[in-house]
Amino acid sequence: MMRACRFAYSGAADSLKNRRILDESVDAFHDAALEGKAGAHDASWIITLEDTLLFDRRALDSIEAAVARYVGPAAELEFFLSAGEAAFRDYYSHKPIAPEGRLVRLPILARRASGEKGVRDRIVIALPEYCHDIHAPAGLCPPFQMSLPRMLLTYHSSEFDILFANQIAVMSELVCRVERSPRAWLRSLSLNRSCPWRQRAALAYQDIHPSAYVHPTAVVEGAVIGARAQIGAHCTVRYSMVCEGAKLHDGAKVEFSVVGRGSWLMHDLALYRCHVENDVFLIHGPYQFSGFKTGSAAFATIMMDYRPDGKPIKIETADGPRPYGGRFLGAILRAGAKTLGGSLIAPGTLVPESVWLAPDASQKILRPRS
């Protein structure tokens, strides 16, 4: 039987070569997603994935299923993503959209393998997601809805897209793991939590490498702890991934985040919805909705993650500065950047590579002496 399609992908763009999704390089993450999907030479459609696309296995399955269902006469198919209001706001609002609204054009093109000529048509992929209400204190913001997409399908147009990709990927990965874990479902029966059974199962899931050290007083819920990682006394790791050799000192708390290899989170630090690459050092905090590239560090830095006036946060994209529709967004520290004690960083800021950012008004950026 002829397979409906095969995927053609030549690797990530240069801007993504040193970036990571979960505990892997972007190329390695994509290679795992593409396993078994690129070698069917008798397929009727060839789907080309451009080098800025960010995707996981579940996204490729959705694309493949959509092409298999297509019965029109087109020789080429272009792809759009349709997202709900909350998901679009938090993950896609900084991208150009189709005139119909909340449709994001994806860098994907399908061509009939026969090479026949004809018209071009479009396929719309609906983003599967979980939504839940957040009732924040009135002093912060009105109640709003939060989305947890169930697959990673976006493209790199801003340095914040790797942060968003990891926020999606860590939850998508955990959902897949929980679905395959009878032990988590059984453990959820003993959890004394007033939440739906599916959420209790997620909280009951944990994958702790045998060589990792987790203090008996630490709380690990819905999380993956890598080899030789160290989780200190009274730490909390929830809906997160702590990678090989990372160290959480006593009292550190991590939620909805990825902590890269060899990174240190110091005592009582709070990390929320962040992406931390390898060998990062963070102290004091809290740090929220932010990205920390390899070798960066933050010392007692205030990283603002919302505008109290309610106006859109502006972020730098490939198309220039664009408004971001989400209410909360922090900053990105590029590789080797260090923000020193007392620094105040506005939402949407990119701290340049290998600079020291200080609060002294006369010396905003200090370069280390050679």
Least confident among 173-177, 205-209, 280-284: 173-177
Neighbour count for residue 246 (Cβ, 10 Å): 28
Structure tokens at 215: 């203090």
Q: Does the pLDDT at position 2 exceed 80? A: no
> What per-residue confidence (pLDDT) applies to 146?
83
Reading phi first (left if > 0) and then psi (alpha if -120 to 50, else beta), residue 168 is in: alpha
Q: Quick check: 345 pLDDT over 90? A: yes
- Apex CA 254: angle with CA 249 and CA 255, to 5°? 170
Count of Cβ atoms closer than 10 Å to residue 333 Cβ? 32
Q: Mean pLDDT for the chain?
A: 91
Tell me what pLDDT residue 81 has.
Answer: 97
Strands 356-357 and 20-21: unpaired
CA distance 299 to 280: 11
Tell me the mean pLDDT in the region 152-178: 96
Write out the E strands in 10-102.
Answer: 20-21, 24-25, 45-49, 53-55, 76-82
pLDDT above 80 for 121: yes
Query: CA–CA separation, 183 vs 201, rounded Å?
Result: 9
Helices and strands counted in the chain (H then E): 6, 35
Q: What percent of the chain has pLDDT over 90?
A: 72
Domains in the chain: ranges and CATH: 5-157 (3.90.550), 206-366 (2.160.10.10)
Flag whether pLDDT at 367 surpasses 80. no
Least confident piece of the model among 26-30, 57-61, 128-132, 297-301: 128-132
Burial of 100 (0-12, 13-18, 19+ CB in 10 A): exposed
- Cβ-based neighbours of 96, under 8 Å, separated by 6 or more: 104, 105, 319
pLDDT in tens, 31-78: 999 998 876 667 889 999 999 999 999 999 999 999 999 999 999 999
Phi/psi at 199 (5° precision): -70, -35
* Digit-coded pLDDT (tens) for 232-287: 999 999 999 999 999 999 999 999 999 999 999 999 999 999 999 999 999 998 99
